[in-house]
Amino acid sequence: MSSTDTEVSEDRAIYDPVVFTPTSYLRERPEAQPPPDFEGYKSTRLRHPKQPLVYMPQTITEITGPQLGDVRAGGEFDSDLTRQHDGEPIGERIIVFGVVRDTEGKPLRNTLVEIWQANAAGRYLHKWDRWPAPLDPNFSGAGRCVTDDRGRYSFTTIKPGPYPWGNHYNAWRPAHIHFSLLGRAFTQRLVTQMYFPGDPFFPYDPIFNSVRDRRARQRMICELDIHATRPNWAHAYRWDVYLRGPAATPFEQAH
């Protein structure tokens, strides 16, 4: 998603994320999205561009895709990370589900949703993740799905564990799942992280706190949904995602 997609015209009504009724005409608060260079998160100094953006004209390809239509994301178990191997992974089974919405709260169908995460011990299946936590041979930590006609997505997975990451002394990341979503155009890609309620590492994590608006940070935290729990199998968390507008889910800036 481009930076211009986070701005909403002042003559367009903003909708309450719960009841979808017009509430104001204000733009999104600047502190609701993380800055490209955040003092507490060291690697942002190395990753973000130092020169001003050069805006290029958008062609029909950038503003009209992707058109996923009836194409499915892939294999039968792409959205069930607990069934991708011969055995069952270790950890708490959870269901993560929700609705992908646009600025006005309308569901977005045929939206590609991808996730990746650490295992229950807080380790990624990645060659550069070398901290001494066990790998799970039955858990790869990646999945994808396409939203249905009502904008709904759902994953069955394992709750990830926290892990150290070397940003500062005794630095630990809260448990989280990475999300990537495509909106109505190739320029509308959102990459973000979903967190779990009540995590004790929230006050110490500069990535979570790079979103300076407290209300915006709450939009990154899922909610336990006891009614969606599968009895004797998995508990469930709901997390709705807004791709644009003042209720937008905070995402990693592209600049």
Annotation says 178 is catalytic: yes
Question: Which of these, 241, 204, 228, 253, lies nearest to 105 by C-alpha position?
Answer: 241
> What long-range pairs does 5-9 form, CB within 8 A, spacing at least 24?
5/183, 5/187, 5/188, 5/243, 5/244, 6/33, 6/244, 6/245, 6/248, 8/103, 8/244, 8/245, 8/246
Of 163, 195, 237, 242, which one is the catalytic site residue?
163
Tokens of 235: 């508990």
Annotation says 255 is catalytic: no
Q: In 169-254, which ranges are E strands? A: 172-173, 176-182, 189-195, 223-224, 235-238, 241-242
Of 123, 144, 173, 189, which one is the catalytic site residue?
173
Q: 203: exposed, middle or buried (C-beta count within 10 Å: 0-12, 13-18, 19+)?
A: exposed
Of 101, 123, 178, 189, which one is the catalytic site residue?
178
Annotation says 237 is catalytic: no
Question: Which of these, 28, 50, 31, lies nearest to 212 by C-alpha position?
Answer: 31
Of 41, 101, 123, 124, which one is the catalytic site residue?
124
Radius of gyration of the chain (CA): 19
Of 101, 144, 176, 217, which one is the catalytic site residue?
176
Which residues does the annotation mark as catalytic? 124, 163, 173, 176, 178
